[in-house]
Structure 1
Amino acid sequence: MFLLALSALQNVTENNDNSYFRVAGIHGYPFAPWQEDPGFVPANPNRGYCTHSSALFTTWHRPYLVLLEQMLCDQARSIAQQFQGYDAGRWQAAAEEVRLPYWDWSSTTTQSRIPAALKQPSISVNTPSGQATIANPMYSYKFLSPQPAASGFGPQTVQGAGDDELFSSFESRRQATLNMFTGTDYNQFNIELENIHNTIHVQIGGDMVFVPRSGYVPIFFLHHANVDRLTAMYQATHPGLTLTPRRRSPTFALGGAGPDDLNTPLYPFRHPDRRLWTSNDVSTAESIFTYGYSYPDVPQGLPRQELQSFTTERVNELYAPQPASPALARFFTGDESGVPGSPTTRLEWSANVQVRGNEVVGSFRIQVFIDAFLAGVASNFADARMPMSTPNDQINASLPLTPTLVRQNVGLSPDETVPVLEEKLKWVVERRTDDGTAFIPISTADLSSLVVSVFSNEADYPTDTSQLPTKGEPVTYYEPTAGKVGGLQPGQGPTVGVQTGNGNGTSPASTRMRKVRL
C-alpha cells in the first residue's frame, strides 16, 4: 500500500501543491513559495526553505516529514476504496497504517548499506486491477515535464551507488551515533546529527549530493525519517532538553537577522488555523504521537520516565560496544567488585575536523585514515550550481577513531595509541563532481581553514542498560597532527569543546508506527 500511495503521489500534476514535485521542492529547487499568504516576499530567493547549519535542522524537518506522510495517507485511503471483494476491508485497514519507513544507517543489520528495496528499478505490487509490475517509486522520481538545464536534473532523479562508500565508514558512524546520546546539550546533538546526515548525503551520490535537488530523491525521506527517529530518541532519553538560541543560517523565508530559537517560524508549515509551526510544537518525544506516528524505539503509551528508560535501553542495545564481547574485553577496564550496574570504562579516541564550508565549491568530504583504514568522514553538503552556504558556515565534526584502532588491535592507552597515530594518521580531501557520480582530489594545502586535531575522552559504559554512557573532559594530543598540513600544531589552542558551527491541514486521526526498518 505504501508503494501504491507513493507512486500515485509522484504522478500528481506538478502544479498541484499536494504533488510530490511541489512538496519535494520545498527543500530547495525550484525556490518557489509553497502555500504562503498573499504578499509573501522571499528573504533569499536563491535558497530553499530547508534549515541547514542551523539550530532548526532537526525541528524543521519533522513537520516536513509529517506533511509528506499526510499526503501519502490521503493517497492510500483513496486507492484503498478502489479495491473490491472479500479483502477490500484489509486494504482499507492497510491504508490507515501507511507511514514513512526509516533507514537506520547505523544498524548492524544493514551496516549502512542502501536497502535492497531502493535498488530495484521496477517492483511487483497488488493493485485494484490485479498483480502488476510498476516503476519502483522508491528507486527514483520521474519528472512529469522536462526541467531547466540549470537545475542539473535529467528525466528522473539519480541515486548513486554508494554502498561501498557507506559501508566503509559504518563502524565510525555507529560509534558517532552513540556519542550523540552522551551529551546534554541539544544544540550539540543537533550539530553532531547533522554532521552524520551530511556524510550520508555525500556518500550516496547522485542527486542526493546537492541540497536543492536532494528532496526529490525518494531515499531522502527514508534518510530523514531516521534523522527524525534519532531526534525522538534523544528527546526521550533527555526529557526537558530543547534547542537554545543560535546564529541564524538564512533560508528562502528567513533573513539573516536572528538568532533562531524555539519561537522561530518553521516556514512554510502551518497548522489548520494558519499559525506557523515553531520548534515548540516538536520539542518533545511525545510530540510525534500528536502528529500521528511513533517508532519502535519511542513507543506511545509509556509514562515519561518509563519511556526514558525504554529508549535508553534501545540506544545501548543498538549502538553501544559490548564490553562482555571477548574480542573487545581487553580494551575495557571495569570495577572488579562485580557489583551489577558498575561502569566499564575505555578511552575513546576521536579526530576533530574543522573547516569552512565555502572553501570548496559544492559538496566535499575530508576522509581520515589510520594507515590504509578509513576511520571517519566529515562532509559539506552543498551544490556547485546553486550555492546555498554562507561564509560563516563551519563544519565541526568529531570522528570516532576507536573502532578502527580496535580493529587493528592497537591498545587504547596514550602510550600505545599516540605513536601509532603520529605515524599513521592522515587525511584526504575530495569534492563531488557536478553530476554527483565521482570524487575529485583536492590539495589539503588549498584549505586554509582546515584544522584536524586528535583528542580522547574517558568513557564509562554502565552494565545497567537503562543508563546512558558518560564521557569525561576531552584531552587534546598534538603529536598525531604536528607537522602535517591541515593538522593542529603545537601552540595552537584545542579545537574540541569550542562550538564554532553554526504541514498544512489536519494530522492523521490516530497514531501509527514508522516501524519498517529497511
Structure 2
Amino acid sequence: MTTQPDLDDLPARGPGIALPPYSYIILKSSNERIAAGSSVEFSALISGKFDLDRPKLDQAFHILPDGSIRLSNGKYTSPGHYEDEVDIGDNPYQWRILWSPKGYTIHHQNGRAWTFMGPNKPIEIPSEADPDRKEERQLIDFVLDAARPVESDDEPDETLQPIFPQATSKIIITGARLPRQFSGRGPPQFPQDVQSWPNRLGPLPARLEIHDFVKNEKFFSLYVQALKRLQQLPEDQMESYYQVAGLHGFPLVHWNQSNVGNGIYCRHATPIFATWHRPYVALFEQLISQQALEIAGQYKKDQDEWLEAALDLRQPFWDWARPGGAVPPDILISRSTLRIITPKGPRNVENPFLYYAYRTGDKSTGSFPPEYKEWTRTIRHPYSDRPIQEIRNYLTQAQEQITMHTHDLFEINDWEEFSNKKQTQTGSTSSLEALHDTIHVLVGVTDIFLVPYDPLFFLHHAQVDRLLSLWKTLHEDQWVSGPELTEDLTPFWNSNNSYWNSDLIRSHEVFNHTYPEYLDVKGDPRHHIRETINQLYGGSSNRVFKGLSHHSHITSWSIRFRIKPFVIRQSFSIVVFFGEVPKDPHSWFSSSDLVGTYDVFITYLPEDCDNCRSHEHEPIEGFVHLTSTIQDKIPHVREDQVPRYLEQHLRLGLRRVDGTVAKLDKLDFEAKVLSRRIKPATHRGPARFHVGEHTTHQFDIKHGVLW
C-alpha cells in the first residue's frame, strides 16, 4: 500500500524583506497616516506625517532582512513574537509581523491588519508639495491592503461583490429522507409531505464515527464523491458548498429566501446554539445524500448494493472526546489523495477533507475580511509553518481535558449551563459550546464566520449534535425554554411557510437518522446511555478516583474563567501552566508544565453580526480542570495546603490564534480557583456527583500569575 504524502511541508521561515532604496508606501485613513519608508540606511514603518528627510524614528520599527523587527528604542522581536508597544498618534498599539506562503502580514492589537503581497510594480505618488508633480517610485515587493475598506465616493467594483443571486426557490430541510418504496431499480421516489415520514422502512440509519465510517467502503466512496461534487458546484447555486457554508457568516448575504439581518444566521453564545446547528447539519446531510443517490445510480456493477448504501448514508461524526480520538485521522488532515471505488472502478482521488478551494477568486471572497480576501482556499493554522503537526500536537496535549469536560457535561442538570458559554451562577464545568470552541481553535480555523468552509466543520458539529442527544436522553425535562423555544431557526424552513424551531427538534430522529448508542437498546435507554458514557469517557475520572471506594469523597479542583468575548479581536487561548510560562509561545502546547487551555472562538469583526453585538458586553465562561495535575505534581500535599501550592505554581499565558501573545494585566477578565467535594459514579448513576456547593478560592489574576 502506497504511503500518502504529508502536506505539512512549508519552509520554516519566510523570505527576508528588502525595501528598495528611496521607496515608500503611504496609507491614509481618517486621522492617521502610516508610511513605509526606505533609504540606503534604513527600512522602517513610521507613524505620523511622513517626511523622507526627517523620519520620526522614535515612532518606527525597522524590518531586518530575516523578517525580524527592531524598534528604534532597541527592543527586538522575531516574526510572530511581539509584546512591546509603539505609539501611533494618541494610541499605543502592539505590532507584530507574521509570515505565511501568501506573504507578510503586519498587525496591531485591535484587529486591523495591513497585508503585503504580490509582485513588484512601479507606482506614482503625488508630491505633497506639488500635487500636480508626480514622482515615480518603485513599490516594494508587496501590495498594501487595509483591513477595513476606506470609504469612497467611487462606484463599487461589481467584480468584487458576492455572487449570490436572490433565491427564487426554497430548500426545505428534511435531513436525508428514505423513499416510501424502493425496489432497487431506477431513481428512488421520495415522499413529498411531512405526514408520510413515519412510513419509513426499517430502523433509522445511524451516523457513524469517522473511524468506523471509513471501514465501510461503499459509504466512504460515496461520501467522498458527494462531498467533492458539492464543493465543485457553481457558487451561484443555492445548494453549493460555498453558499451552505456562507450562511453561517461571510459573505454576509441572505440565503434561502430568509431576509433576516445581514445574512449571518448562526446563534452562538445563546440558549439555541446547539438547536440552531441541528438543522444546519441535517441540511448538509440532506445535500450529501442527494448527491450520493445520483452517484450510486451510475454504478454498473452491484448497483442495487450501491443504491442501498446511498440510502443508508448519513453524515459521519468525529468523536474527539474518546481517548485517542482528539487527533483526526490522516484522511482528514494530511493525505493528499484517497483510494475509493468510483463508478469507473478503483481510483485515487484528490482529498476533499483537506480544504475547500474558492472557485471564483475575488467574487468568492470579495466581502470577506481583508485578511482573508487573498485566500484561494481554506487554511488551518494559517500563521504556522507546520500546521498539520500543530493540529496533532495541540489536540494530543488537550485530549485528557477534552475527555474530562465531555464526561462532566452529563453532570450538568440545567439547559442554560449545558447549552452555551454565557456566564452562569452555579456552573462547575465547561458547557457544550465552550467545549466546541476548544476543538475549533485547536484545529486552527481562525474566524467563526468562516469556519464552515473547512470540511471538518460538519464532522465536528455532528459530534456536537450527538452529545446533545445523549445529554437530552439523561435529562428529559430540560430543553430550551421561554421565547427561544419557538424562535424561528432561520434560514431553515420545514415547509414553504414555516421554519424549524427548537420545540420541533427535541429528538434527532426528526431528521431521519440516529446514533450508534441508540441501536439495539434494551430496557431503560437512560441506563444504557449512562453506561455507554462512563465506558467511553470515564477513564480520566476513574483515574482521579483510583483506589477509592464508591463511598469515598475527594476534592475536585478547577479554574473558572470569565471574560467578555471580544476583549481581544480574534480567537484566543488562555493557557494554564503548573510552572513558568515558556518564553516561546510556539512551545506552550508541548510544554511538560501545560495543564490545559480555555479557548474562545470568535470573529474579529463582531460589528458585522447582530447576535454578536447583542451580547458583546456579557461575560462568557469556561473551565480548566486541575485535579489530575494536582495528583501528578503534588500527590503528597495535604488538601488544606493545596491552595498555597496553586498560588505559588499556577501561571497563565494568553495566545492569540495568530501565534502572538497578549499581556494579561491589560485585560478585564476573571480567573478563580474553585474546589468542590465529589463522589465517584455508581454502576448506573451519574458520572460523578457533587456533595455541597463549590468553594471559591480568591486567587485573582495579575501579570499571568494566580495569587
Q: Place the TM-score, normalised by the shorter chain, in its bin.
A: 0.7 to 0.9
Partner residue of 2:343? 128
Distance 2:648 2:224 in 1: 51
Per the alignment, do residues 465 and 81 of structure 1 end up closer, same or farther by CA in structure 2, a change over 3 Å counting?
same
Distance 1:320 1:464 in 2: 12
Match of 2:294 among 69, 75, 78: 78
Larger CA deviation: 1-10 vs 459-468: 459-468
Q: CA deviation at 1:8?
A: 1.3
Distance 2:376 2:701 in 1: 49
Partner residue of 2:645? 420
Partner residue of 2:515? 295
Tell me the alpha carbon deviations over residues 9-49 of structure 1, each in whole angstroms, 9 at most, x when there is no partner. 11111111111111111111112111126xx3x33x2x621
Partner residue of 1:29? 250
Tell me the alpha carbon deviations over residues 195-236 of structure 1, each in whole angstroms, 9 at most, x when there is no partner. 11112111111xx22111101100011111111111111001
Tell me the alpha carbon deviations over residues 62-98 of structure 1, each in whole angstroms, 9 at most, x when there is no partner. 000000001111000000000002x111211111121
Match of 1:471 among 690, 696, 705: 690
Matched, 1:457 2:676: yes
Q: CA deviation at 1:403?
A: 2.3
Question: TM-score, normalised on structure 1?
Answer: 0.80
Contact 1:373 1:404 in 2 (8 A): no
Contact 2:323 2:400 in 1 (8 A): no
SS at match of 1:124: strand
Distance 1:117 1:466 in 2: 37
Q: CA deviation at 1:275?
A: 1.3
Matched, 1:189 2:418: yes
SS at match of 2:562: strand
Alignment: residue pair count: 444
SS at match of 2:404: helix
Contact 2:400 2:540 in 1 (8 A): no
Distance 2:541 2:573 in 1: 32
Q: CA deviation at 1:477?
A: 4.4
Match of 1:281 among 504, 529, 535: 504
Distance 2:662 2:475 in 1: 40
Q: CA deviation at 1:263?
A: 0.9
Q: Residue 291 of structure 1 aligns to which amino acid in structure 2?
A: F
Match of 1:217 among 438, 454, 475: 454
SS at match of 2:516: coil
Contact 1:173 1:376 in 2 (8 A): no
SS at match of 1:293: coil
Partner residue of 2:631? 406
Distance 2:540 2:377 in 1: 44
Partner residue of 1:362? 570
Per the alignment, do residues 199 and 412 of structure 1 end up closer, same or farther by CA in structure 2, a change over 3 Å counting?
farther
Distance 2:519 2:493 in 1: 24
SS at match of 1:5: helix
SS at match of 1:215: helix
Q: CA deviation at 1:411?
A: 5.1
Tell me the alpha carbon deviations over residues 288-344 of structure 1, each in whole angstroms, 9 at most, x when there is no partner. 1221111122x15758x711111111111111247776x9525x4x3xxxxxxx555
Q: Residue 404 of structure 1 aligns to which amino acid in structure 2?
A: T
Matched, 1:316 2:534: yes
Q: CA deviation at 1:271?
A: 0.7
SS at match of 1:378: strand
Partner residue of 1:115? 329
Matched, 1:198 2:421: no
SS at match of 2:602: coil
Question: Whose relative contact order is higher, 1 or 2, with alpha carbons under 8 Å and at least 6 apart?
Answer: 1
Per the alignment, do residues 273 and 411 of structure 1 end up closer, same or farther by CA in structure 2, a change over 3 Å counting?
farther
Distance 1:21 1:94 in 2: 26
Larger CA deviation: 220-229 vs 168-177: 168-177
> What stretches of structure 1 of length at least 5 have no aligned partner?
246-259, 335-341, 434-438, 490-518
Distance 1:280 1:55 in 2: 13
Distance 1:129 1:323 in 2: 50
> Cα RMSD between the aligned structures?
2.3
Per the alignment, do residues 320 and 301 of structure 1 end up closer, same or farther by CA in structure 2, a change over 3 Å counting?
closer
Q: Residue 310 of structure 1 aligns to which amino acid in structure 2?
A: H
Partner residue of 1:269? 492
Partner residue of 1:329? 546
Per the alignment, do residues 302 and 124 of structure 1 end up closer, same or farther by CA in structure 2, a change over 3 Å counting?
closer
Per the alignment, do residues 166 and 102 of structure 1 end up closer, same or farther by CA in structure 2, a change over 3 Å counting?
same
Partner residue of 2:664? 444
Contact 2:447 2:603 in 1 (8 A): yes
Distance 1:2 1:412 in 2: 53
Per the alignment, do residues 411 and 132 of structure 1 end up closer, same or farther by CA in structure 2, a change over 3 Å counting?
same
Distance 2:342 2:640 in 1: 64
Per the alignment, do residues 12 and 58 of structure 1 end up closer, same or farther by CA in structure 2, a change over 3 Å counting?
same
Contact 2:678 2:689 in 1 (8 A): yes
Match of 1:101 among 292, 316, 321: 316
Contact 2:322 2:403 in 1 (8 A): yes
* Rg comparison, structure with higher value: 2
Question: TM-score, normalised on structure 2?
Answer: 0.60
Per the alignment, do residues 353 and 276 of structure 1 end up closer, same or farther by CA in structure 2, a change over 3 Å counting?
same
Q: CA deviation at 1:272?
A: 2.8
SS at match of 1:241: coil
Per the alignment, do residues 165 and 323 of structure 1 end up closer, same or farther by CA in structure 2, a change over 3 Å counting?
closer
Partner residue of 2:619? 394
Larger CA deviation: 409-418 vs 215-224: 409-418
Q: Residue 222 of structure 1 aligns to which amino acid in structure 2?
A: L
Contact 2:596 2:624 in 1 (8 A): yes
Contact 1:410 1:416 in 2 (8 A): no
SS at match of 1:203: helix
Match of 2:352 among 137, 140, 157: 137
Partner residue of 1:90? 305
Contact 1:141 1:217 in 2 (8 A): yes
Match of 1:348 among 550, 553, 556: 556
Partner residue of 1:502? none
Matches within 5 A, 1:41-52: 42-43=260-261, 45=262, 48-52=264-268
Contact 1:104 1:226 in 2 (8 A): yes
Partner residue of 1:251? none
Contact 1:103 1:226 in 2 (8 A): yes
Matched, 1:234 2:457: no
SS at match of 2:457: helix
Larger CA deviation: 264-273 vs 365-374: 365-374
Contact 1:454 1:477 in 2 (8 A): yes
Q: Residue 619 of structure 2 aligns to which amino acid in structure 1?
A: Q
SS at match of 1:456: strand
Q: CA deviation at 1:409?
A: 5.2
Q: CA deviation at 1:485?
A: 4.1
Contact 1:171 1:403 in 2 (8 A): no
Contact 2:671 2:700 in 1 (8 A): no
Larger CA deviation: 56-65 vs 459-468: 459-468
> What stretches of structure 2 of length at least 5 have no aligned partner?
1-221, 382-387, 421-430, 580-591
Contact 2:248 2:266 in 1 (8 A): yes
SS at match of 1:173: helix
Distance 1:308 1:483 in 2: 41
Q: Residue 181 of structure 1 aligns to which amino acid in structure 2?
A: F
Larger CA deviation: 401-410 vs 266-275: 401-410
Per the alignment, do residues 168 and 475 of structure 1 end up closer, same or farther by CA in structure 2, a change over 3 Å counting?
same
